[in-house]
Structure 1
Amino acid sequence: MPDSTDPNPTIQTGGGAHAGGGAHVSGGGFQAGSDINLGAKTVMGDEVGVKIVHQYGDRSPLPPFTPAPLPPLAPDGRPPLPDPVPLPPGSRLDYDRNPFFTGRENEMRALAQALLYGPPGRPAVIATGIGGIGKTQLAVEFAYRYGRYFHGVHWVSMADPAAVGTEIAQCGALMGLRPDFDSLPLEAQTRLTLAAWGEPAARLIIFDNCEEPGLLAQWRPGSGGARILATTRRGHWPRIAGVAQLPVGALPREQAVALLAKYVTGRATPPATRHPLPTTLSEIAAELGDLPLALHLAGSYLESYAGDPAGTPAALLAQLRDPVLGLQAAALIGRGAADSPTAHELHVANTFLLSWQRLATVTADGGAMAAALLARAACLAPGEPLPGGLLRRAMAEELDSLDVSDGLGALVAVGLLEEAGERAAVGDGVEDGDVPGGGDVPAYGDVPAERLYRLHRLVARFVAGVAAEEMGAARAAVEGAVISLAQEQDVKRDPRPLRQWLIHFRHVTDAALGREDEQAATLCHWLGYCLRFSGDLSGALPYSRRALEIRELAFGLEHPDTAASLNNLGVLLRVMGDLAAAQPYYERALGIWERVLGPEHPNTAVSLNNLGSLLQSLGDLVAAQSYYERALAIRERVLGPDHPDTAGSLNNLGTLLQAVGDLAAARPYIERALTICERVLGPEHPDTATSLNNLGYLLQAIGDLAGARPYYERALAISECVLGPEHPDTATSLNNLGALLQAMGDLPGARPYYERALAIDEKVLGTEHPLTAIDYNNLGGLLQVMGDLAGARLYYERALSIDEKVLGTEHPDTASDYNNLGYLLRAMGDLAGARPYYERALGIRERVLGPEHPDTAQSLWWMGVLNEQDGAKDKARALYSRALAIYEKRLGPDHPNTQSVRHYLSRVS
């Protein structure tokens, strides 16, 4: 994704953390303030813009000047954007307008709102941003567009704090304060100018490159009508009354492309319609992170070398992508750029070097902590919001957290790292799933709020060059950090934190793939897991496969880690609905673990359990039971009868027996599992909640609805208390309670439970997650029972749309969606409309689950009902007979489904 800025920026009051501190980084540290010669002069400044215009003349009094009347706000409530005009007499602005200036309309309107349309007083706005972002250019353009509404525009460079008095005096020299102004001592000139600025007249004073709050406090007029606009790289600014911040980010992509097009075509018309190279220009902008300085240099290069084979957009793009050249590409060191319109540095790396060298002056440790943090940030996805917690995790555990905070603050203070806001705080029988990666990780709890940062992609390249010796250790630390975060999610099972750092996990993993080593395989393994958990099944598949490929090459075909990848790939394929493809992966994993670790190893039990779950899904309940029983026996012998994994096997056997209709036999397994969880894990553990849900579901199947309710309610209370009111497991408990109330006939009481579950899953998992589709189906079923068939149809169709998109058209869940829609249309009397849905459901189930699966029998059953209602009794009889044969074979002659189909068959015999 491109580096970008808020399309509607807001001016923020505020400041930030102190950048000082006594951080110490041991081992492999490097000094941020060391001399680095990049082959170009160092110039105080960072922007591009326009050439210098010296406005000096006689010192006689100026003619009277009345500012233009302020125009009314636009209909949308924002200030208008006037055309540029000459400045008021007596103004000092050393730069003419940049003819290539593009965009920033929203930022200029925000400045106008604060400095012209805001409340009375002495407003000051600090435009903050990294070097090369265009802060000076924004100030210049604002002055020429809005200067007419002030009594004067006065430009003061603060790049050299010792020369600020002289800068102010030069402003006074143009204001016509006294005929003998030039003969006065400098101190008197400065004092007279400041006194004039303290008068009631509204003046615009621009303090460019104001890097220290003390400078602003020292030279800002203490009274009067002056309005202050300052530019700074400093991201943190103290909270000072009347001082607000305007963060200036990279150009939006369309504005960046339009800027390049001006250099290439001589016009600002969007190249998508008037230039044949919009894609190439967009790719150039992306490589440059939409940084205005870099865009100016690239555009100047294209303009200067037009017609040269090396000066085409395609050639420039190849140059920018050359990893050897990095920031030393010809376009990025100013080749082809005639001059700097704002007299600032025309070398991207040297622009960043100014900030790099300042680290030594703003930190107590010479910048070592900040530099180590920056190296780690450079290993993550550039331009993307970066959780501060991820950077902290990549640092040594023994470091003082306050020192780390000071290091982050220093990076923001010198403009190498941008603040990107703050992330808000968040607070049945299943497969064993992935083989745990090991390590102690926190179990449960809320996700605290944390500060977000952003590192520009060109700054990341710069850091990789100047900190080359540190990058190896930084990459290793970052890889370990993302793996440990993934392991936490395996325990917490809360996908919300994933959204913020998953893009960084993918970036780190992609960067490691070329090594094909053990760590690369581990990264692929955990990234595949996290993508699967977040609902991106197709995205997870290539990483899970790559983990297996690397481990097979690195460790061989009979290694336990290879077996772990086989197992996890089987889990993913099963979730994707490709049951036939999943089975050989499970079987291979089982074979390896039996041969290498032994038939009594806990990992062997994992494979047995997973194969049992797969066979249960395939409808082979007899074979599934044998695998479950073997897994239980291993766990009881090796782990003990009271181990949580033993409880998991007991739960699986209980739910299997319930599925075959043997409810009496199922009960002791589920009750024993609950007893273990309560005794070993505690009465408020999430696994205890799972066992409570299972027991409630069993009692509901038995018909003891009143007895089921307290178990469901206890499970819900645990999930809400331990995992939080917005956790997917909490949504599961809500769905269970909703289904129970629906079964009890309390349809109005069921609805809020279903709706709350849907709201949780939509917020936490997203609107296109398979679990969200289940919520839609549940609500659709409830509305159908309540008689709202039109409302039910909307929910069923949403569920189908999700499952077709995420799971595919050949998934068992998609078949269930077709079945639900067919059932609804039949209830509406539209037998012809119902038939294709029933037929699709039957076809999927026969192909994916097999011709003798209980779900296939259900489709045959409902197809029989449809034909019976349509008067085709012979077809109905054949369909009922096939369904009955399957149920008798798979579920037994006394199962409720078997008995029901037998009754339907008798009606047409």
Structure 2
Amino acid sequence: MIWKRFAPKKRPGDESPTGLKASEGAIVAGGDVNGSVAQHIEAGQAFVLSPEAHGPIPADAAGHGVSNIPAVAAHFTGRTSELASLEEKFTDPGEVLVQAVHGLGGVGKSALAARWAAGRHEPVRWWITADTAASVDAGTAALARALQPGLAALPAEVQAERAIRWLADHPDRWLLVLDNVESPAHVRPLLDRVPGGRVLITTRLASGWHRHATVVRLDVLAPADAVELFTRVLTQHGPRDLTGAEALCAELGHLALAVEQAAAYCAETGTGPLAYLERLAAWPATMYAATAEGGDSARTCARIWRLTLDRVEATPYAGNVLRLLAWYASDRIPRDLLAPLAPPPDLDAALGRLAAYNMITVHPDGSLTVHRLVQSLARTPDAEDPHRQALDIEVARGLATALLVAAYPADYADPANWPRCQALLPHVDALTGHHADEHDTPDTATVLDLSASYREDQGALAPALAGFRRALAARERTLGPDHPEVLASRNNLAGTYEAAGDPRRAVPLYEAVLADCERVLGPDHPYTLITRNNLAGAYKAAGDLERAVSLHEATLSARERVLGQDHSDTLVSRNNLAHTYLAAGDLDRAVPLSERVLADSERVLGPDRPETLIARINLAGVYEAAGDLDRALPLCETGCAAFERVLGPDHPRTLSARNNLASMYLAAGSPDRAVPLYEAVLAACEQSLSQDHPITEQVRANLRVARTA
């Protein structure tokens, strides 16, 4: 660098008495130098600056303090533990300490940083918007000017260099907040130059910091803090109706930005929390983009996440995956549900990119979580947002449905499949709850049917009925009245009516389905035989034993002919016929047929299949009816133990089996054993089933009788 004093043009005779010319770099001044100016030449350009800009920034430049930390909002709420954690992490002396606070856009990272930095005591506390490398340089240059205003005439890069030198020379006197960092590479040149000090980074990026900083994840507000924030903003000018505030904050996922903007909107428009919820449901796109007068329209969740998705979409599948995940429950989405979407490396890359920007969370068990507001926004079409086009959202919904169909186990009665069925239930409910019934597709109907079948098997009859009804309506609308899947849906709905103890609705529906099956599919089609078997069971439940026996006999004969002697459906028919003989008092046929059913089930299906367990309990009941308690009691006790081991203590079939065992104790003259068992079974029924479930009501009635014995 060359420093040169401005001087008049040389005239002849102006040489100095010594014969020396003024050399470059010398400063020549006569008398008082105050107010003199100098020329700085940099890259061929000259800049005029004052004398104090000639050397490095003085050590005492901070004076009584230099700070541009943003004012802390009056409504800042909560974050006590996060602030304490930051304070603890920044107590260690020595080399530069860097903390990177990451989280979803709008979670409150910048607000937390401002609140924490405002309470620090370093002489220099400087805030730099660091979303680009150029922004970092500009913020560093601004620090130089704040420390030494006379540097303003220098090029920005020189100012930044002066600031970095001052920071490096005074490591114990400063705190930097690098806000909204988009890439570690943007701040690495600065961090590499400062050997000490304190740096707090805020970023949407969760990954890429292991070489640069200790990461701190910032989550959404605690529910109570979210309500407090909403209350503070809403009531800043006086009391307001807060009814529904908790529900609104929950709907917004306790995201700080969304809660604050909703409260500001309510305060300005006179809208109450409940009314805001209604508007959010009716006009989501409008409400997500709405701000109060004077609010920053660029700081809505919709705008912030659009900028994030601009970056995420560069990774194949990432945007599509996020739109797909928007249709499931927000938490514990099984990662393997997405396996058919793309080859594993591509899917890994998409999920990794979304996780890096905190759009999703990948848990150690592989499951995924998405903030519910991110999901809601991703499901809401907006013609002006390239990431939220209506057709893309519709395609994502269809794909999300198809993936659930592929993942849901068809054999809902197998205990090995129950964990999977249970894990998928919340996502079925979320998917079907996020769109109106008229948008249901055949895939929607299939997943509703599968989940309803599992629910009925577990004793959850009310949601099973709702699922079967909706599945039937969807199939009738999309497939026509005679499609086999429509017939299957009508059969399943009738079965749930029967399970709920309503044979008056089950019988006519079964009869209509059977007639349609015989007409459309033929008398020997498996669906026809299933419906015929089920109708016979409904006749039995309605007390029409003559028709029940006749129809069961015909069904068994047809299944033996069509499916074979050892087919599982044939074994079911044989068991049902034996039980109907028992109900009709025909023990001469009930006993040998029940014994055969148990032997065949153990041989063909194995000892622990649900069908075998049922056959064992039914045979015990037949022995009891025949007065042979010596064989009935041990067989029933063994059967109950097997039910508890295989199906669990609270499964409806286990509870029904234990009820039967209590009845046998009572029949054997042991009310002291029957009553406690009835009481235990009733308590379990009331807890795991419902007060009005048919099994619960049966056990309750049996207990009343046992207590009077």
Does the alignment pair 1:159 with 2:123?
A: no
Residue number in structure 2 paired with 1:352:
305
**Post-superposition offset of 1:317:** 5.0
**Post-superposition offset of 1:605:** 1.1
Give me the whole-angstrom Cα distance separating, in 1, the residues matched to 2:175 and 2:397: 47
Given the superposition, is the C-alpha separation of residues 224 and 133 from structure 1 closer, same or farther in structure 2, using an over 3 Å criterion? same
Does the alignment pair 1:633 with 2:557?
A: yes
Q: Give deviations 1:80-109, integer Å, cap 9, x for gaps.
A: xxxxxxxxx645343111112233334334
Residue number in structure 2 paired with 1:111:
86
* TM-score, normalization by structure 2: 0.74
The percentage of aligned residue pairs carrying the same residue is 24
Q: 2:430 aligns with which of 495, 504, 507?
A: 507
Give the letter aligned to residue 387 of structure 1: P
Residue pair 2:323, 2:375 contacting (<8 A) in 1 also: no
Does the alignment pair 1:475 with 2:397?
A: yes
**Post-superposition offset of 1:133:** 2.1
Residue pair 2:132, 2:182 contacting (<8 A) in 1 also: no
**Post-superposition offset of 1:501:** 3.6
Residue number in structure 2 paired with 1:525:
449
Given the superposition, is the C-alpha separation of residues 490 and 317 from structure 1 closer, same or farther in structure 2, using an over 3 Å criterion? closer
SS, match of residue 202 in structure 2:
strand
**Post-superposition offset of 1:477:** 1.3
Q: 2:158 aligns with which of 176, 185, 204?
A: 185
Given the superposition, is the C-alpha separation of residues 336 and 776 from structure 1 closer, same or farther in structure 2, using an over 3 Å criterion? farther
SS, match of residue 298 in structure 2:
coil
Give the letter aligned to residue 96 of structure 1: A
Given the superposition, is the C-alpha separation of residues 615 and 194 from structure 1 closer, same or farther in structure 2, using an over 3 Å criterion? farther
Residue pair 2:223, 2:254 contacting (<8 A) in 1 also: yes
1:223-302 matches, cutoff 5 A: 226-237=197-208, 239-240=210-211, 243-249=214-220, 251-266=221-236, 275-279=240-244, 281-282=245-246, 284-285=248-249, 288-302=252-266
> What do you get for the CA RMSD once the two structures are aligned?
4.6
Q: 1:390 aligns with which of 319, 337, 346?
A: 337
Q: Give deviations 1:498-526, integer Å, cap 9, x for gaps.
A: 44442332233241512466455445434
**Post-superposition offset of 1:586:** 2.2
**Post-superposition offset of 1:675:** 3.8
Residue number in structure 2 paired with 1:403:
346
**Post-superposition offset of 1:541:** 1.9
Given the superposition, is the C-alpha separation of residues 507 and 225 from structure 1 closer, same or farther in structure 2, using an over 3 Å criterion? same
Does the alignment pair 1:691 with 2:691?
A: no
Unaligned runs of 5+ in 2: 1-55
Residue pair 1:525, 1:547 contacting (<8 A) in 2 also: yes
Give me the whole-angstrom Cα distance separating, in 2, the residues matched to 1:777 and 1:374: 49
SS, match of residue 185 in structure 1:
helix
Does the alignment pair 1:820 with 2:703?
A: yes
Give me the whole-angstrom Cα distance separating, in 1, the residues matched to 2:564 and 2:685: 44
Given the superposition, is the C-alpha separation of residues 492 and 665 from structure 1 closer, same or farther in structure 2, using an over 3 Å criterion? closer
SS, match of residue 490 in structure 1:
coil
Q: Which has the higher contact order (CA 8 A, sep 6+)?
A: 1
1:660-739 matches, cutoff 5 A: 661=587, 662-677=590-605, 687=609, 690-691=611-612, 694=615, 698=619, 736=638, 739=641
**Post-superposition offset of 1:635:** 1.9
1:742-891 matches, cutoff 5 A: 760=648, 770=652, 795-796=680-681, 798-799=683-684, 801-802=686-687, 806-809=689-692, 811-820=694-703, 823=706, 826=707, 834=708, 866=709
Give me the whole-angstrom Cα distance separating, in 2, the residues matched to 1:615 and 1:278: 52
Residue pair 1:304, 1:337 contacting (<8 A) in 2 also: no
Residue number in structure 1 paired with 2:293:
336
Residue number in structure 1 paired with 2:178:
207
Give the letter aligned to residue 450 of structure 1: S
Does the alignment pair 1:419 with 2:361?
A: yes
Residue pair 1:349, 1:462 contacting (<8 A) in 2 also: no
Residue pair 2:106, 2:304 contacting (<8 A) in 1 also: yes
Give me the whole-angstrom Cα distance separating, in 1, the residues matched to 2:301 and 2:593: 74
Q: Give deviations 1:115-170, integer Å, cap 9, x for gaps.
A: 45x9998765432222222211121122234x25x676443332112332443454
Residue pair 2:113, 2:177 contacting (<8 A) in 1 also: yes
Larger-gyration structure (1/2)? 2
Give the letter aligned to residue 336 of structure 1: E
Give me the whole-angstrom Cα distance separating, in 2, the residues matched to 1:617 and 1:319: 49
SS, match of residue 524 in structure 2:
coil
Give me the whole-angstrom Cα distance separating, in 2, the residues matched to 1:217 and 1:61: 25
**Post-superposition offset of 1:259:** 2.7
Does the alignment pair 1:496 with 2:419?
A: yes
Give the letter aligned to residue 795 of structure 1: A
Given the superposition, is the C-alpha separation of residues 253 and 531 from structure 1 closer, same or farther in structure 2, using an over 3 Å criterion? farther
Give the letter aligned to residue 801 of structure 1: E
Give me the whole-angstrom Cα distance separating, in 1, the residues matched to 2:104 and 2:690: 43
**Post-superposition offset of 1:533:** 4.4
Give me the whole-angstrom Cα distance separating, in 2, the residues matched to 1:788 and 1:672: 33
**Post-superposition offset of 1:352:** 1.8
Give the letter aligned to residue 234 of structure 2: V
SS, match of residue 321 in structure 2:
helix
Residue number in structure 2 paired with 1:568:
492
Give me the whole-angstrom Cα distance separating, in 1, the residues matched to 2:230 and 2:174: 34
Residue number in structure 2 paired with 1:597:
521
Give the letter aligned to residue 482 of structure 1: L
**Post-superposition offset of 1:59:** 6.7
Give the letter aligned to residue 408 of structure 1: L
**Post-superposition offset of 1:413:** 2.4
Residue pair 2:327, 2:379 contacting (<8 A) in 1 also: no
Q: Give deviations 1:321-350, integer Å, cap 9, x for gaps.
A: 444xx4344x83545025x5xxx9334432
Unaligned runs of 5+ in 1: 1-57, 66-88, 269-273, 361-365, 425-448, 678-682, 713-732, 741-752, 763-768, 827-833, 835-865, 867-909
Give me the whole-angstrom Cα distance separating, in 2, the residues matched to 1:697 and 1:283: 50
Residue number in structure 1 paired with 2:320:
372
Given the superposition, is the C-alpha separation of residues 187 and 105 from structure 1 closer, same or farther in structure 2, using an over 3 Å criterion? closer
Give me the whole-angstrom Cα distance separating, in 1, the residues matched to 2:68 and 2:277: 36
Given the superposition, is the C-alpha separation of residues 259 and 593 from structure 1 closer, same or farther in structure 2, using an over 3 Å criterion? same
Give the letter aligned to residue 377 of structure 1: L
* TM-score, normalization by structure 1: 0.60
Residue number in structure 1 paired with 2:36:
none
Give me the whole-angstrom Cα distance separating, in 2, the residues matched to 1:322 and 1:739: 53
Give me the whole-angstrom Cα distance separating, in 2, the residues matched to 1:671 and 1:476: 46
Q: 1:195 aligns with which of 160, 163, 168?
A: 168
Give the letter aligned to residue 354 of structure 2: L
Residue pair 2:127, 2:177 contacting (<8 A) in 1 also: yes
Residue pair 1:486, 1:530 contacting (<8 A) in 2 also: no
Residue pair 1:298, 1:332 contacting (<8 A) in 2 also: no
Residue pair 1:651, 1:691 contacting (<8 A) in 2 also: no
Give me the whole-angstrom Cα distance separating, in 2, the residues matched to 1:228 and 1:787: 74
Give the letter aligned to residue 155 of structure 1: W
Q: Give deviations 1:19-62, integer Å, cap 9, x for gaps.
A: xxxxxxxxxxxxxxxxxxxxxxxxxxxxxxxxxxxxxxx97655
SS, match of residue 278 in structure 1:
coil
Q: Give deviations 1:241-299, integer Å, cap 9, x for gaps.
A: 972331422x344433433333332179xxxxx642422x4565455444333333333
Given the superposition, is the C-alpha separation of residues 627 and 217 from structure 1 closer, same or farther in structure 2, using an over 3 Å criterion? farther
